[in-house]
């Protein structure tokens, strides 16, 4: 193995795009899931499980995007 793969700047942008891209996609995916299932009967425990999971997915997506913005001193 060589010492490192790329320059620190290139690596910083590589992990930014990877994290930001996946976090954004995750946010959109679980938002769509939540919208699609919003009319299902919430008295069903499995529906509540799904909604809780989608909300957590949305939060995790937001955390990922926020982390990228912090990484580049935007926020």
Partner 1 sequence: MEAVATTAPEAPAKKTVSPFNPANAVTASRFITLPFFFMAVDNHQLQWATIWMLICGLLDKLDGLAARIFNCRSAFGELFDAITDGICYGFGLIVVAAYGIAPWIPVAAIIFLGVANTLMRVIYVKRAGRATNYKSYAMERLVAYTGYLIGFATGGMEVKFFFWVFVPLMITIVAYDTKRMLIDPVPGAKA
| Residue ranges that bind partner 1, judged by CB under 8 A | 1, 3-6, 11-12, 15-16, 18-19, 22, 26, 30, 45-46, 49-50, 52-54, 56-57, 59-60, 63-64, 67, 70-71
CB of 59 to partner 1, least distance (A): 7
Question: In 10 A of CB 35, how many CB atoms?
Answer: 10
CB of 57 to partner 1, least distance (A): 5
Q: Give the single-character DSSP code of 44.
A: S
Q: Which is nearer to partner 1, 22 or 35 (CB)?
A: 22
């Amino acid at each position: 193995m060589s010492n490192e793969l790329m320059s620190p700047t290139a690596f910083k942008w590589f992990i930014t795009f990877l994290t930001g891209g996946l976090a954004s996609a995750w946010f959109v995916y679980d938002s769509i899931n939540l919208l699609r299932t919003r009319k299902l009967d919430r008295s069903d425990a499995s529906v509540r499980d799904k909604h809780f999971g989608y909300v957590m997915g949305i939060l995790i997506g937001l955390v990922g995007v926020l982390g990228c913005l912090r990484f580049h001193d935007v926020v």
